Each structure stands twice: as structure tokens, then as C-alpha cells.
Amino acid sequence: MTSRAGRADRIAGALLGVHAGDALGATLEFSSWATIRARYPDGLSDIVGGGPFRWPAGHATDDTDLTRAVLLAYLAPEGDDVVRAAADNMLAWLDGHWPGREPGTPPRDIGAATRRGLERYRRCGDPRASGAGQGQAGNGSLMRCIPTALAVPDRARRIRESAEISAITHDDQRAVAACAAYNEIAAALITGTPPAEATASGLACARELRCPPTADAIATGQRIRPETMATTGDVPLHNQGAGFVLDSLSLAVAAILDPRPLPGVLIDIVRIGNDTDTNAAIAGGLLGARDGASAIPQHWRARLQFGPEFCDAAAALARRTC
């Protein structure tokens, strides 16, 4: 489908889509497909909070918090080192200097690779030498990467910064290439490029970076259908959508190629189960870039912790990159 949303609305949609997917999926994080089907036969259709970490409705989990950390780096004065600024913001988050938390208290939830990468950055002081190493191919950098797509119009710089910001915590080539390819898809979507063409941009990026597994994950996303997986529980992915970066990338690609409106697709991504909040945040970012903020239900938007801040940030990015 081709959205009629304007560019500024799509930028806002990308940020709010991450936040809404995260908040919707947080209720069912770690739940299996069968458990979700028993509790919500037609899927969870509202942002209600709860889940294993007892989130207030609409509260940011680590997915949205770390997206905000990257976003704030791009809103800093131009000329700053955005990779260092992003790493500093993530470390502030880790140390409890963050809205909605008692100062000094740790995050409720943090991935192991993210923690290791940030602690290495604390010790070495170089954000480009702090990653978690090969074999750490979780989705913890993909979930936070979309601000680069929204803030950087130059393709070469966008790919470079996507890779460098991923590598602060996840420097496995599959994760790095996934972030770069995802952001090429997002950057195309916010210009109004149809989803199939935008997906081709991501596939070209993965091939350019010589990462066949990432290219294969995008191709998988072109074949699978969220509604079928949500209905049957048959999830033909490497790790069943349980935190592997390439599974999350495949689901996000499948989401934007689904012609249905954003809410139904995002509900089905959550219905698949396992890493529900992160899969939905990653898919939600691309769906929001495709359809715009106006496609996100108002009753969802009204509950999002950083909703107004993200809208203001989107307006600032739109002015900078117009």
C-alpha cells in the first residue's frame, strides 16, 4: 500500500510506531503463541500495561527508552559526534538518569549484550570500540536504530552511523547490517516510496555490506505473512521471533508488505508471541513510517509516555531535513 500521509507525519509515525508497538507488546512479553491465543483469541487490541515487568500502560520499556537515547543524540547541536552522544545517553539510561525513574535506579529490563557493551564503553571511553562482539546477534540494536533513518538524508552517512550506533553494543555483522538495511527501508518509506520498493532498498544495502544472512532475512520477510503466523502459530523463522535480530527484521519487512492498516498488522505481530514488545517496536517503526502517525489509534497515542516529546522531535527533524 502507498500511504497518503505527509513526510512530517511519517517521521512522527516512525517514532510513535516504535513506542506503540513496544507498549502494546510489553503486556505479553515472553508469552507463547498458545498462551496469547488462550488469553486473547483475536489478539490484544489495546495498550494496557502489565506483563512480566508490571509496566504502567504506555510506559516505555528499554526498546523505546534506547530509541529516545539515539533520538536525543540527533537533536543535539549539529557537529556533535552523534555516536558518542548516543552512547552517553544510553549510559545515562543505564545509570538511572532518565525520566520516569527514581534517580540512580537501574532499568527494569536490559539485554545482556546491551549491558556488556555499555559497561565496556564506560571503561574504554570509545563508543566505536565497545561492542559485544561476534555472536551477539540479538535484536537490541535494531530496536533503537530508526532515528538515524529520520535524521540523516545522506545515504553513505546514514549507513555508516547506523552501523556505528549498532556496534556500541551489538557489533556482530548480522546486527550491524540489519540496522543499516532497516534504516534504508525506513528512509525510503518516509519519502512515500511504496513498501516493495523500500524493501528493495534494504535488500540492496544488505548485499552491499556483504552480509548474506541479513539479505536472506529480508527475503524471508517478503514471503511470510503476519496474519497467517498469528492465526496458525506456524512461524517459519530461525528462532521463532524470540530475540534473534534477523527474525525481528523479517517480521518488520513482512509487516510493511501487509496491505492492512497499521493496527491490525501490529496486533498480529504481537499475537505471534515470544519477544512481543521488541518485535512489535521494530515492526511498528516501519509501519509508522509507511502509514504516518495519523494511522496510529488515538487511544493508543494518548497513553504513550513520550508521545508528545516524540511528536515535537519529529517536527524538529522534519524541519532539519526538508
Burial 85-95 (b: 16+ CB within 10 A, else e): bbbbbbbebbe
pLDDT band for position 1 (50/70/90)? very low
Q: Which pLDDT value is given to residue 80?
A: 82
pLDDT of residue 90: 98
**187-243 confidence digits (pLDDT tens):** 999 999 999 999 999 999 999 999 999 999 999 999 999 999 999 999 999 999 999
d(CA 199, CA 188): 9
The dihedral sign for the CA sequence 50, 52, 54, 60:
negative
The mean per-residue pLDDT over the stretch 116-144 comes to 88
Give Cα separations from 272 to 44, 47, 79, 102, 225 (angstroms): 11, 17, 42, 34, 11
CA–CA dist 149, 18 (Å, integer): 13
Which percentage of the chain shows pLDDT scores above 90? 93
- DSSP letter (8 states) at residue 128: G
> 3-state DSSP call for residue 263?
helix
Q: Is 70 exceeded by the pLDDT of residue 57? A: yes
CATH code for the structural domain at 7-321: 1.10.4080.10
If you count them, how many residues does the chain have?
A: 322
> Over the chain, what is the mean pLDDT?
95
Percentage of the residues of the chain whose pLDDT score is greater than 70: 97
Return the number of other C-beta atoms located less than 10 Å from residue 204's C-beta: 14
Q: Phi/psi zone of residue 211: left (φ > 0), alpha (ψ -120 to 50 degrees), beta? A: beta
- DSSP-based three-state secondary structure for 226: helix
| Predicted pLDDT of residue 132 | 66
Q: Where are the beta strands (DSSP E) in 112-211?
A: none
Rounded to whole angstroms, the Cα distance separating 97 from 83 reads 19
Buried b (16+ CB within 10 A) or exposed e, 99-138: eeeeeeeebebbbebbbbbbebbeeeeebbebbbeeebbb
Position 320 scores a pLDDT of: 87
C-alpha 19/C-alpha 67 separation (Å) is: 9
Residue type, position 31, single letter? S
* Nearest one of 66, 47, 46 to 58, comparing CA atoms: 47
**In the numeric block, which cell numbers belong to residue 161?**
552511523
Closest C-alpha to 144, from 188, 110, 189: 110
Q: What's the rounded mean pLDDT across residues 174-183?
A: 98
Q: Cα–Cα distance between 149 and 219 in angstroms, integer?
A: 21
Model pLDDT, residue 5: 73
Reply yes or no on whether the pLDDT at 2 is more than 50: no
Q: Assess contact for 188 and 109: CB atoms under 8 A.
A: no
